[in-house]
Amino acid sequence: MTRVAGGWLKVPEAELSVPGGLPDPFVCLDGFRVTSAAEWFERRRPELMGLFARQMYGVTPQVTLPMRTHVRSEDATALDGRSTRIEVRLAFGSPGDAPVGAEPTLNLLVHLPNGAAGPVPLFLALNFRGNHEVEVGGQGEPWPFAHLVERGYGVATLCYEEIEPDVDGQATGKADAGHWSGRLGILRHPVFLAADAARRAGERWGSLGAWAWGLSRAMDYLVGNPRVDAMRVIVAGHSRLGKAALWAAAQDLRFAMAVSNNSGCGGVALSRRLVGETVDAITSRFPRWFCGNFAGYAGREGTLPFDQHLLVALVAPRPVYVASAEDDTWADPYGEFLGARYADPIYQLLGVEGIGATSMPPVSSPVPSRIGYHIRPGGHAMTAYDWERFADAADRHLPARV
Ligand code: GTR
């Protein structure tokens, strides 16, 4: 087996299908072993950020786009008077770059609890099929806005396909050939990419990178809303959007906490397990999600210079919550638990609580520690039960504003 430089964390043989253990969170590629929080932040963390960018999600362009905010509607009597429901349009580019109405835009739906004593903590999560879907239900059950607002949380959402359509070939005019319904979005291509051919070659970013970038643009708006506590914004997501949420939290330290629901391969599940969706499977079906380099690890997972426990570690010392579902075998629930568990040493190094479990907890028995985890009965979905546990974790780990 080809071995990557760096050190190895020994793990029980039964946990991985690729021999050799996991890349050691503490050991840099040149063999340097970090022993302090300072060394983690100065050496190992930047090294890992660079590796995840260049080898997996792609490098996020460091471009700041002018952004204008337009409140399209505001209803202070939503959810039986419990919420103010706001629709906000974010328009990108300088005035005159595009005809009015034709600018790249993102449309954010925000619910904020009425009668809050001060700025509120807020969940920010991308949705699959449009903002209406999560209010009324569509592909999945509607999100429990009323419950979250009653518990004091705001919720903000936008459709991921506004940022980057989840299809191949948009820039060549083939967007309509996609199987995914939205195709609303046009942001990444006109703004960042001239031609389709080289769009994700080598280390150029893929869709997950673009979706993570879009989450940060929503955050740009949220930090300027005085009713939102900018220090308590939780980035959350389900499935492919759970992968994007983690990558967003790794890159954007303004997110106070990350929630990754059923994120599976490319999210929290360890690639070296080869259980459920593999690097080969995901890069064959969804090559567009990653940079070109990632496909080179298909069938060669042992040569990855990281595994997904280190993506979780990039969120440290901030709270992170990982959720699995019993029947969601494609996402490898045990691999998701292990991804959370093997991030623990970095939380310990940084002087905060890690995960409060050494073995997989039973179904419906949430682990409430700073690295939180639960597995519930049922399949691949983000349910009211999941949301309630996310709010429990945020209640526990995000300090109330004084
Ligand atoms: C599946 C994919 C997973 C997961 C899921 C989803 O088809 O294999 O990686 O992301 O889609 O986003 O619903």
pLDDT tens digits along 361-383:
999 999 999 999 999 999 999 99
- The CA 212 to ligand 1 mean position distance, Å, reads 16
Distance from residue 1's CA to the centre of ligand 1 (Å): 29
Q: Is the CB of 135 under 6 A from ligand 1?
A: no
- pLDDT-derived band at 183 (thresholds 50, 70, 90) equals very low
Instruction: Give CA–CA dist 331/291, Å, rounded.
Output: 21
Residue with the bigger pLDDT between 111 and 19: it is: 111
Q: How large is the average pLDDT for residues 19-28?
A: 95
Q: Is the pLDDT of residue 197 over 50?
A: no
Report the pLDDT averaged over residues 285-302. 94
CA-nearest residue, atom 13 of ligand 1: 239
User: Hey, how many other C-beta atoms are within 10 angstroms of the C-beta on 32?
Assistant: 15
268 lines ligand 1 (CB under 6 A): no
State whether the Cα torsion 172-204-240-8 is positive or negative.
Answer: positive
Mutate to test the pocket of ligand 1, among 240, 263, 265, 278 (most ligand atoms within 8 A of CB): 240
pLDDT at 152 over 60: yes
Q: Per-residue pLDDT tens for 350-363?
A: 999 999 999 999 99
- Higher pLDDT: 64 or 193? It is 64
161, 238, 239, best to mutate for ligand 1 pocket (most atoms within 8 Å of CB): 239
pTM for the whole structure: 0.94
Q: Is any atom of ligand 1 closer than 6 Å to the C-beta of 239? A: yes
Mean pLDDT, all residues of the chain: 90
Q: How far apart are CA 222 and CA 184, in angstroms?
A: 22
Atom of ligand 1 at shortest distance to CA of 281?
Answer: 8
Ligand 1, residue 277: give the atom nearest the CA: 8
Q: Evaluate: CB of 282 within 6 angstroms of ligand 1.
A: yes
pLDDT for residue 64: 81
Tell whether the model's pLDDT for residue 186 goes beyond 50: no
Residues with a catalytic annotation lie at 239, 380
Asked whether the predicted pLDDT for residue 175 surpasses 50, the reply is: no
Span from the CA of 26 to the centroid of ligand 1 (angstroms): 31
Cα separation, 304 vs 296, whole angstroms: 9
- For ligand 1, whether the C-beta of 264 sits within 6 Å is yes
Q: Tell which one of 277, 328, 336 to mutate to probe ligand 1, the residue whose CB is within 8 A of the most ligand atoms.
A: 277
Ligand 1 mean position, distance from CA 61 (Å): 25
Q: Are strands 371-376 and 320-325 parallel, antiparallel or unpaired?
A: parallel
Compute the distance from residue 78 Cα to the ligand 1 centre, in Å. Answer: 33
pLDDT at 283 over 70: yes
pLDDT at 161: 85
Q: Is the C-beta atom of 262 inside 6 A of ligand 1?
A: no
Quote the pLDDT of residue 95: 76
Residue pLDDT, tens place only, 51-78: 999 999 999 988 788 899 999 999 999 9
| Integer Cα distance of 363 and 262 in angstroms | 14
pLDDT at 208: 94
Residue range 311-333: average pLDDT?
98
Task: Round to whole Å and give the CA distance between 384 and 218.
Answer: 24
Residue 185 banded pLDDT, cuts 50, 70, 90: very low
